[in-house]
Amino acid sequence: MVRFRALLKKRVKIIHFLKSVFLCLSIFTSNKFNIKVEFLMSTHGKDKRVFRNNHDKQFKEFQEEIQIQFTNIKLLKKAFTHSSYVNELHRKPYEDNERLEFLGDAVLELTVSKFLYLKYPMMSEGELTKLRAAIVCEPALVEFANELDFGKLVLLGKGEEMTGGRTRPALLADVFEAFIGALFLDKGIDTVVDFLEKYVFAKVNAGAFSHVMDFKSQLQEVVQRDNSGILEYKILTEKGPAHNREFVSNVFLNGAELGTGSGRSKKAAEQHAAQLALEKLKSHLQDTNTPLQPE
């Protein structure tokens, strides 16, 4: 009986000892886990702060480049926030740029339409519509966005990032429209027009969409309508390497020079010459209301 009690007492001590060991182990493991979690959270938080600081710096540089300072910087950032980024962070759907894209599309249509209406007073409704469609179509908007490196500013979800969303044409075109919408809300229509004058309308003025306008056909139509004479095109010079050729063309009416244009191909140079001649001819017709008589 005495031996049994001694053995029982010994077993109780062993059980208490084991409990103490398990308690120490659990405390150690828990502390180690908490330290690891705290480390990961602090590292993640640090990464987020670095990303935020870098992104803020990029937006600051972007505003300096376009020489426009947004009053509401959140509106600017929203224009570059893709739905995949919002979904990944479980934010509200309206925090992405889709509503700004809707607005920007309408603002672009209006401003481009007004620009074309004033620039080409003799162009028909059908031609104006065709030209506007070329300026606001996806490939053109992507070109405008790439010129300003919009892709690097876009906030994307990880999945969209991994599948090349930053360079996806449809995404860049949407971001350009969203930016125009944000610019309109923050600065008004005049600032939008100033921006477009620099980055969009300047390309129209330089003949970037001459393949749509077909100035040669327009010039021929005006000359035939007024019985002004015969048009003739001549390539004046061509220079540069084969991969970067530049041509200069003259257009003559009854032997008298009407315009001189340049381009990367003979066709482009002739179109440019026809554009300048057409502007000269239209100006003469508006001022005198009589057919042009070449000097």
Say which CATH number the domain at 228 has. 3.30.160.20
177 with 268, same domain?
A: no
Q: Which domain holds residue 150?
A: 76-211
21 with 120, same domain?
A: no
121 with 195, same domain?
A: yes
228 with 187, same domain?
A: no
84 with 201, same domain?
A: yes
Task: Pick the catalytic residue from 96, 105, 160, 186.
Answer: 105
pLDDT, the chain, mean: 82
Planar angle of CA 216, 217, 223, nearest 5 degrees: 90
- Among residues 181, 211, 241, the one where a domain terminates is 211
For residue 83, tell me if it sits in a domain. Answer: yes
- Are 254 and 294 within 8 A, CB to CB? yes
Q: Parallel, antiparallel, or unpaired for β 256-263 and 231-239?
A: unpaired
- Among residues 156, 190, 211, the one where a domain terminates is 211
- Among residues 49, 67, 85, the one where a domain terminates is 67
Task: Pick the catalytic residue from 101, 160, 174, 177.
Answer: 177
The two three-digit tokens of residue 179, written as one number: 């930016």
162 with 181, same domain?
A: yes
Total domains present in the chain: 3
126 with 59, same domain?
A: no
Q: pLDDT at position 37, please?
A: 41
In this predicted structure, the answer to whether residue 152 has a pLDDT above a threshold of 90 is yes
Q: 177 an active-site residue?
A: yes
For residue 295, tell me if it sits in a domain. Answer: no
Contacts of 159 (CB under 8 A, 6+ apart): 84, 88
- Are 218 and 274 within 8 A, CB to CB? yes
**Could you read off the pLDDT of 16-71 as tens digits, one per residue?**
656 665 555 554 455 554 544 444 444 445 545 555 678 889 999 999 999 999 99
- Are 246 and 239 within 8 A, CB to CB? yes
* Single-letter residue type at 123: M
**Could you read off the pLDDT of 273-295 as tens digits, one per residue?**
998 998 888 777 676 665 555 54
Instruction: Look up the pTM and report it.
Output: 0.63
What's the CATH code of the domain at 205? 1.10.1520.10
> Measured between alpha carbons, how far is 277 from 188 in angstroms, rounded to an integer?
36
Average pLDDT value for residue range 107-132: 90
For residue 191, tell me if it sits in a domain. Answer: yes
96 with 111, same domain?
A: yes
